[in-house]
Structure 1
Amino acid sequence: ENGCCVFCQEKMADYLCQELTMVRHTSVICRRADATEPNTPKMERVSGSVASPRLDSVIAMVFSSSRTKILPLIEGEKVFIDGKQVTSPAVQLKEGEIVSVRGMGKFRFAGSGGLSKKGRLYVYADKYV
């Protein structure tokens, strides 16, 4: 909730906590976290049906958009799969891959289920919130 974690080397932690007081125009309080504190991201399960697990169709499903609006993002080099830039909308996603779309968010492709009556594939993704 309304916070962030900064990972640094042990010898820099005290210095950062002492000196980090503002982020742009916002005052912040910095504290050293316990190494045993859980730091798991919050995720929300998104599911829907797509024609195939193509990158453009899965992104459109996850972010409730159209493939037409997603194509300029892919071609504009704003989409990354596991940290690698992707410029082809036809890439087939594999289970466990993490997709990041600049300006929209990030999700982990959780795989696919069965087929609908119309032959469409049910897919699942865990969207970072």
Structure 2
Amino acid sequence: MYEHFRPEERPFIDQLKDLHEQVIHFHQERLTDFLDPRQQDIVFSIIGKDDDCDLQFFGGADGCERKRAALRPSYLSAEPIDWEISLLKAPYSSKFVSISHRDVLGALMNTGMVREKFGDISVDDASFSFACTKEAETFVRMSLEQVGKVSVTFEQVDKLNLEKEQWNEINSLVSSMRLDSVIAAVYGFSRSKAAEAIEKGIVKVNWRLVDDTAFRVDVGDYLSVRGYGRGKVISQEGITKKDKIRLVLGRKK
């Protein structure tokens, strides 16, 4: 099983295997924290085809990127799931101050809780909102009184205003699966500009900073360059006669 994933993903796979065994052997229901899309792909690839385990994802609202996974015996598949998710909203006046996604995430991280306890964050001109686990809600209400220069008070809501994720597909030929080569193809950079971005520490693979230009990218990986948005390696479509790799890449609209 490990051979299909990166070494740094093995601890997550081990946790997933433990949850799966609890479901299959002890007929228990299990709920993960919020998972990023790469982690969701891993969960689905390992468990998604197991007929004995019902697997579902939900992030608190339609269109969420970060989601919790529910694992339970298949005979419970028709039963409703208690996702234990809270949606919190805080109003503010944009006439006097601006708040960004980074401001909200930084404030949440400063509470001492880990990123996995929080789902998607939505920010508009009059308020911001986010999803969190129910156990995190109480702690956030008690400990978070300010975001940036704004004093905040939270209220529960039943939805987040999120844009649906859409990808512009790009058919490309690359000489290798090196990170600098793939970044150049996704963002239309020269190879040297891609390498410079990586070395500056503004490139992430699956939400983790990578500063090695020779890092090997795989199908299913999510990419981002600060200031240029998100990309994805959607599929590999074979090799040309000149040993070029045919890729279908995605760049978020």
Q: If the TM-score is normalised by the length of the shorter chain, which range does it land in?
A: 0.7 to 0.9
User: Residue by residue, what CA displacement relative to the aligned partner does 1:59-107 show, whole Å, maximum 9, x if unpaired?
Assistant: 1011111111111111111111111110111111111111111122211
Amino acid in the other structure paired with 2:186: V
**Sequence identity percentage:** 26
User: Please, what TM-score do these two structures have when normalized by structure 1?
Assistant: 0.75
5+ residue gaps in structure 2? Answer: 1-63, 65-85, 99-123, 130-156
Instruction: Report the counterpart of residue 99 of structure 1 in structure 2.
Output: 223
What is the root-mean-square deviation in Å for CA atoms of aligned residues? 3.2
The residue number in structure 1 matching 2:181 is: 57
Structure showing greater radius of gyration is 2
Q: Which residue of 2 aligns with 1:79?
A: 203
TM-score, normalised to structure 2, is 0.41
Give the counterpart letter for 1:63 in structure 2.
Answer: Y
Q: Which structure dedicates a bigger proportion of its chain to helix?
A: 2
Unaligned runs of at least 5 residues, structure 1 = none
Residues 1:40 and 2:164 aligned together: yes
Cα deviations by residue, 1:38-78 (Å, 9 ceiling, x for unpaired): 75212111121011111111110111111111111111111
Aligned match of 2:212: 88
Name whichever of 30-39 and 104-113 sits farther off: 30-39
1:21-48 C-alpha deviation (Å, 9 max, x unpaired): 4463xx9355988649875212111121
Distance in 1, matches of 2:211 and 2:127, equals 39
Alignment equivalent of 1:28, drawn from 125, 139, 149: 125
Q: Could you say if the C-alpha distance between residues 28 and 37 of structure 1 is closer, same or farther in structure 2, counting changes exceeding 3 Å? A: closer
